[in-house]
Structure 1
Amino acid sequence: MEWLDANIQYWHWMVFGLLLVASEVFVPSFVMLWFGASAIAVGLITAVVPLSITVQLLIWGALSAIDLFIWFRFVHPKMKSRSYSGMGREQIVGKEAMVIDVSERGQGHLRFSVPILGSEEWSFRCESAVAIGDKVVVLDVTGNSLLVRPS
């Protein structure tokens, strides 16, 4: 440990962080980015305040955990596209699904047995009365919801 304390400099953390950030090209989930950002932060802290390698590793681990928590809890869910515009209409028209939620106005949510265009659950509109558990067939796509009829 003494050797690491004496030989690990602040710029080692900076280079390590930049390598981790660059590795994000091969791991497209933004995980390596946060490990790299934390390593760069440790390098900046170490440039100002001399710390033992143990404390540096603890700071890096804590910053990485905090960064990942914030990313996956708050930021990442907001980045997912909730728009289905431009999807392949022919992939969904004619498919059968089951109603899982319905409101009074003939709107609700349905579930396909296998994901269609990346999602198992979709919102729908139906001219006829349907109940939870009914099977419906997709007639058309209107905006981000489906137009269905009972099967």
Structure 2
Amino acid sequence: MDFEPQYWHWLIFGMLLMIAEIFIPSFTVFWFGLGALVVSLLVALGVPLSVPLQIILWALASCAFTLLWFRFFRPLMKDRTKAGIASEAVKGESGQVIKLPVEGQRGVVRFTTPLLGDDEWPFICNNEVALGDRVFVVEVSGNTLIVEKR
């Protein structure tokens, strides 16, 4: 019995693998499904591929997609926030004063990368600061940063 997979066999196989990613949270099965879609496209376009060549092409495409994702694209998408990280991790971070402290009110400092989930924080500083000054985090006290101007 000769079995020759049609393009729709690879299409369904690829979609099933991609759907399986919902239940397998490793984000690797997705790339094997995408590899099957590549083989499906080639077979649909009429490229003459034997069954062993289809399987080899699927394996190579899947490995290539997985490598590209983990090696090149995923590092570009890293979360740059400091949310959920201990306050020790934010010490030394620098921000810019956007609101001056006045009698009875704290100033506000803005960070280019959010610290502990927010990019603007009320601050206390023992030195005089001006709008636009660069300040550095010394300590976190509740919901207020203690900063210093260097």
The answer to whether 1:65 aligns with 2:67 is no
Q: How does 1:17-96 map to 2 (within 5 A)?
A: 17-47=14-44, 48-85=46-83, 87=84, 92-93=86-87
The answer to whether residue 140 in structure 2 is matched with residue 140 in structure 1 is yes
**Alignment partners' CA distance in 2, 1:28 and 1:107:** 35
* Residues 126-137 of structure 1: pairs in structure 2 closer than 5 A: none
Larger Rg: 2
From the superposition, tell whether residues 17 and 27 of structure 1 become closer, same or farther in structure 2 (CA, over 3 Å): same
The structure-2 alpha-carbon separation of the partners of 1:79 and 1:29, relative to structure 1 and needing over 3 Å to count, comes to farther
Structure 1 gap segments, 5+ residues each? 98-105, 109-116, 118-137
State the one-letter code of the partner of 1:69: L
- Deviation, 1:35, is 0.6
Distance in 2 between the 1:77 and 1:28 partners? Answer: 18
Separation in structure 1 between the aligned mates of residue 37 and residue 74 of structure 2, nearest angstrom: 22
TM-score (norm 1): 0.55
Equivalent residue letter for 2:36: A
**Quick one: distance in 2 between partners of 1:44 and 1:10?**
7
1:3 aligns with 2:17: no
Letter in 2 for 1:55: L
Question: Which residue does the alignment assign to 1:13?
Answer: 10
TM-aligned CA deviation for residue 33 of structure 1: 1.3
Specify the SS of the correspondent of 1:83. coil
| Distance 1:78-1:29 versus aligned 2 partners, 3 A rule | farther
Whole-angstrom distance in 2 between the partners of 1:14 and 1:50: 17
Distance 1:77 1:27 in 2: 21
TM-score by length of 2: 0.55
C-alpha distance in 1 between matches for 2:38 and 2:75: 25
Structure 2 runs not aligned, ≥5 long: 94-115, 117-137
AA matched with 2:11: M
Instruction: Name the count of aligned residue pairs.
Output: 98
**Runs of 4+ residues deviating >6 angstroms:** none
Q: Percent identity?
A: 40
